[in-house]
Amino acid sequence: MYNSIISFFNNKNSEMKAFKIQDLKRETRIGITANNLSEILQKGKQKLKISNDVQVTVVLEKDGTEVTSNDYLKTLDPQTVLVFLKPGESWMEAGEQVYHSLNKLYNRTKQTDVVKKLRELMSDEKSPEKISIISHYLDQLQTDPVSEERHEHEDWFEGVDKKFNKKSDFMRNAAQQRIRSYYTSAKDQIKKENDPCVKACLDEVMNKLNEELKRNKFHGDYFDRTASKNKICDKKGWFTCEGAFDEGSCSSFHKINPYASRGFRHMFGLWNLDHIVEKSREVIPKLIKAAQNKRKAEDINFDEVYKYLFKRDNLRLVYIGCHKKAAREQTISFDQFYVSRQETLLNDIPVI
């Protein structure tokens, strides 16, 4: 009898598990122990000061899975973080929570201060406490990501040339300027070539590249949320960091909507459209080398050069925090820039 009582208590104790609970805004994270779901609800509501008659949904902090049964509860690791959602609330990732709040940012007078403060806070922190502070702070402010015209959101256009009346037009221009700067710096770099034959060959390539850029309207589509294809953002204007050149993706939830406020428009300047295979250390020197070593039966494969300089194949949008200055290992061989003259001629034959 005595043993069975002991074993009863042991069993009971073994089911007692420690959890961490918090509300959606992640303002507080509190440790509790509980045997089952109803105990979690009861203790949790008390700690989070939620009245007993409020219907609460309990979800996992890491991925939003709803906890509905004791059986499932048993499968969770000790110290699992649970979020208490009140009616009308839905789970968001910590990073998403911040950006959801950022989305509302809109302040006429303190924009620069806000952005500066945000940058400091978000530069190296992922702690729930700081995320909570940022969310809270930003909830007080407002953004307007939907409007498109100057008269609808004048603050966004402050300091913007009068010729732009639509946000998308301004953003198109911003993309075009970046692409144009890649062209100009490539041109500057090859200017140093002295050999007249090589120079003639390179000039021809640059002219062809320029023609193709014009045809593609200098890839303004990259930043234009109204573009039908090739845009890097979604149709609301959200851009997601694609991570450092040597990583598959960004693990820090970097996102931005430069259409939302003047501050974000400015902040977007800190986002780089990085070349994966570097332009000035790798692509241009290899192009020059290709021009120097070109045989008579060969032409410069300008499509390939174009791809490496201006196409998304070799461009990656990266937040400054994920931008690495270190030299990259990705290299290309200069022979990649050749195409045999025969091939060019065949391609030029019109199809009858």
Which residues form the interface with Zn ion (CB under 5 A)? 241, 250, 252, 254, 319, 322
Shortest distance, position 99 Cβ to Zn ion, whole Å = 12
Hey, what are 304's tokens?
A: 């390939």
Comparing CB distances to Zn ion, the nearer of 181 and 249 is 249
Comparing CB distances to Zn ion, the nearer of 285 and 321 is 321
Shortest distance, position 256 Cβ to Zn ion, whole Å = 10
C-alpha–C-alpha distance, residues 245 and 232, integer Å = 16
Comparing CB distances to Zn ion, the nearer of 159 and 248 is 248
Comparing CB distances to Zn ion, the nearer of 17 and 254 is 254
Closest CA to 184 of 274, 269, 315, 279: 279
Shortest distance, position 42 Cβ to Zn ion, whole Å = 41
Comparing CB distances to Zn ion, the nearer of 250 and 273 is 250
The type of residue at 228 is S
List the Cα angle 173/177/183 in 5-degree steps: 140
C-alpha–C-alpha distance, residues 113 and 75, integer Å = 46
Shortest distance, position 95 Cβ to Zn ion, whole Å = 10
Comparing CB distances to Zn ion, the nearer of 23 and 274 is 274
Comparing CB distances to Zn ion, the nearer of 306 and 319 is 319
Shortest distance, position 264 Cβ to Zn ion, whole Å = 16
Closest CA to 204 of 305, 59, 84: 305
Distances (CA, A) of 109 to 88, 98, 263, 282: 32, 21, 11, 44
10 CB-contact burial (10 Å; exposed 0-12 / middle 13-18 / buried 19+): exposed
Comparing CB distances to Zn ion, the nearer of 213 and 256 is 256
Shortest distance, position 221 Cβ to Zn ion, whole Å = 22
**Residue 149 DSSP symbol:** B
Which stretch of DSSP H or E encloses residue 319? strand 315-319
Hey, what are 140's tokens?
A: 């007080």
Shortest distance, position 46 Cβ to Zn ion, whole Å = 39
C-alpha–C-alpha distance, residues 118 and 130, integer Å = 10
DSSP letters for 252-297: S--EE-TTT-HHHHHHGGGEEEEESS-IIIIIHHHHHHHHHH--TT
Shortest distance, position 321 Cβ to Zn ion, whole Å = 6
Rounded to the nearest angstrom, the gap between the alpha carbon of residue 236 and the centroid of all alpha carbons in its chain is 14
Question: SS3 for 212?
Answer: helix
